[in-house]
Structure 1
Amino acid sequence: MTGIGAAAAVALAGVGAGTINTVVGSGTLITFPVLLSLGVPPVTANVSNTIGLVPGTFSGAYGYRRELTGQRDRLLRLGSASLIGGIAGALLLLVLPAGVFRAVVPILIVLAIALVIAQPRLSRRFVGHAQQHGSQGRHPVLLWVLVLLAGVYGGYFGAAQGVLLVATMGALLDSNLQRVNGLKNVLSGVVNAVAGLLFILLAHPNWLYVALIAVGSTVGGQLGAVVGRRLSPAVLRAVIVVVGLAALTKFLFFS
């Protein structure tokens, strides 16, 4: 692929990832495989992808600002868990040998694909259950710990972090799915931002691809907030699953 073609592919992947992250989560399964296909080493691809997606996550959160009204206390409380978890996950990526990441990523991709497929059932079961019981933040300590663990996962790899957050908060909060999704976008943004800052200071990202993903994901975040709500979630999930399987194949057989 030519330099222009590679740049265009990364930018378009950024748009797709920003859109999907805002609506569903798991946009990493769009950008990460594209970077791998261009010959970027796995850890460098993950680092560059995380930094590049930071503007897109906050763009999506801004698009969901109406749903965030009245959730300031939740954001502050759960944001602290995401902050700590994101730091821990990013440090794990930087401290552990690259071989560990190569060994673990196929498992994480399979987990991410499974979560994306199961998301409708998770949303119906957990969000509906919380609303039915009129819970007002049941088990706040458990919720904080689970958001922390999702942050560790997100700081280390990131794919399907949003799905984990929606399932967790849907189970333990009384908010509807759109308000939960708004929270998810902010918390994912916190994890990406703190992990990205550590990667900027301590790692070696590919700055060209970072910039292309950043621009694309910012546009995609707005598309996800405005247009993505009108798209079929089933279509988005199908795209994520296909791309995720391609990433898994690439990782297992061609790297």
Structure 2
Amino acid sequence: MKSFMVLIITALAVAETLALAPNLVKGSQVLGSVFDILQRKSAIDPNSPSSTMVTDVGGDVEFKNVSFKYPTRPDITIFDDLNLKISKGKSMAIVGQSGSGKSTVISLLLRFYDPTSGTILIDGLDIKTVNLKALRLRIGLVQQEPVLFSTTIYENIKYGNSNASEIEIINAAKAANAHGFISRMPEGFHTQVGEKGVQLSGGQKQRVAIARAILKDPSILLLDEATSALDTKSEMHVQEALNRLCKEGQQF
């Protein structure tokens, strides 16, 4: 009888294991793709030993005869001999229809991609010769859909400067016109924003992202249609925050 029970239990365990086999196979395939990404060597070395370290960026930006095609779409030309110059302390808006290359300008300046030909200069230096991490530390980016992490508002703002004090974080929230709605929340700055900031409205997420940018104190501020998806009231609050930030930064 005992042997029979053992056989029955073993058979059930084997059956359950076999039922999970498809999930195990899917899991191994997903892990494989994750490790492929982690082990992939980027064509742009963020810590090249020959790169120039910069601690201070003035903000003069220039595109010289820049041509570009996305690696995945080599048959489509995005830019052909683009020339663009923005002086330190000035603001510029790039206007065009969807797909005209507005966001691509930002991607090239942040070196998410390198141009097919031509040169991008910041303060007269080719950005290819500048240490990538040092360069990105001096550039702030506010996107149309801001990236928030599944943690507190406080931690999301602090991501702009991990060495910032609590007072600096609060001041950044005030400058971003975000302190009002944060203080009205039951847990204040320690409110959990949820996955991708699902607990906050579009305007609130944007103002948290702007507070993060303020805390970073960037020399160059890039705005990628930061208010295009908001309602009129939210856009007004976000625009007020951007106007404050642009008094000391640079709008692109």
Normalization by structure 2: what TM-score? 0.22
Normalization by structure 1: what TM-score? 0.22
Q: Which has the higher contact order (CA 8 A, sep 6+)?
A: 1
Indicate the structure with greater helix content: 1
Indicate the structure with greater strand content: 2
